[in-house]
Amino acid sequence: MREAYRFTLPEKKDLPALRDILAGDPEVHLYFLSRLDREISRRRRDGEILVLKDGEGRVEGGLFLGREANLAVSSLPPGARPAFFRTVLSRGRGFQVGVSPKPEIDFLVERLSGRATPLLHRTQALYVLDRDGALGREAEDLVPAGREDLPWLAEAGFLLAREDLGIPPGVLNRERLRRVAAHRMKSGRTFVIRRNGRPVFKVNIAVRTREGALVEGVFTDPEYRGQGLASGGVAALCRRLLEEVPMVALHVGTQNLPARKAYERAGFRFAGELGLVLYLPW
């Protein structure tokens, strides 16, 4: 008897089919799209990509299991979610972070109950800004981050993980945060606003595909909050990105009302929900 759904290693012809599925809802799948594009172009492999096939062999979705213990999954037919859970246990056991369509993340957390307890499991508000949108007031002094900004960027990453995600200090690896910040800075994906010669605001470009760009890591120094740096800085970055891609997306915890208002002032519109889960190694 054929299984209704199964995840399998893709054949070459399966990857364009998976891409078409992801590109049908690009703001939800930007990260997965970026990993898939690397696989298709053979530029770099960041992990393992599996495709979901139905009993007739048709591609119905996909799963990315990253080398950094991260996970991304496409929207799935409801009947395929048990296969998703089984595949994570067999091939991605011990993953630590996932941001994907909310029904899939919620299902996985529920089925993992008793095996692993999430450090954080919440709903993310998804926001989108396209070329037809009205940008808010832009900061004029947003610039690419430089080497001199690295100590502050690493500390900002630490504070953001504490404040936004509630990760205990003992779990955070400061040296790894510094390496991540350095890589983003060197690759031109981090931008800052400075006051009195030092950075007080930052924002990162997470990924970019032909469908759009994903923005992340928005942080304002506590001393400078309430001055419009987040809305102005994000709007300024979006102006540049929208010259190259048709859409910019970001997501934020639904409970973070100040951040959500700042993004709405920048021109973003609410476009739905994602699921976010963080685990300690398990």
Mean pLDDT of 186-209: 97
31 CA to centre of own chain: 6
pLDDT of residue 88: 97
Task: Quickly state the pLDDT bin for 222 (edges 50, 70, 90).
Answer: very high
Res. 180: pLDDT tops 90: yes
Task: Quickly state the pLDDT bin for 144 (edges 50, 70, 90).
Answer: very high
Average pLDDT, the chain: 95
Regarding the domain with residue range 5-116, which homologous superfamily does it belong to in the CATH classification? Gcn5-related N-acetyltransferase (GNAT) (3.40.630.30)
Please state, for a pLDDT cut of 90, what percent of the chain lies above it.
92
Domain ranges within the chain, ordered by starting residue: 5-116, 143-273
Query: What order of strands is seen across the sheet that includes strand 59-66?
Result: 5-8, 47-54, 59-66, 70-73, 97-101, 269-278, 120-130, 247-253, 213-220, 198-208, 190-195, 143-144
Q: Which helix (H) or strand (E) holds 19?
A: helix 14-23
Res. 44: pLDDT tops 80: no
Regarding the domain with residue range 143-273, which homologous superfamily does it belong to in the CATH classification? Gcn5-related N-acetyltransferase (GNAT) (3.40.630.30)
d(CA 219, CA 192) in angstroms, rounded, equals 10
Mean pLDDT of 221-226: 96
**Which pTM was predicted?**
0.94
pLDDT of residue 1: 46
Sign of the torsion formed by the C-alpha atoms of 130, 160, 146 and 34: negative
For residues 65 and 71, the answer to whether their CB atoms sit within 8 Å is yes
For residues 160 and 198, the answer to whether their CB atoms sit within 8 Å is no
Q: Which helix (H) or strand (E) holds 120?
A: strand 120-130
| Other beta carbons within 10 Å of 18 | 25
Task: Quickly state the pLDDT bin for 2 (edges 50, 70, 90).
Answer: low
Q: What is the DSSP string of 34-69?
A: HHHHHHHHTS---EEEEEEEETTS-EEEEEEEETTS
> What's phi and psi for 62, nearest 5 deg?
-165, 170
d(CA 36, CA 18) in angstroms, rounded, equals 9
Structure-token pair, residue 35: 């990993």
Mean pLDDT of 52-62: 97
DSSP annotation of 249: E
d(CA 179, CA 116) in angstroms, rounded, equals 28
Res. 47: pLDDT tops 80: yes
Res. 138: pLDDT tops 70: yes
Res. 176: pLDDT tops 70: yes
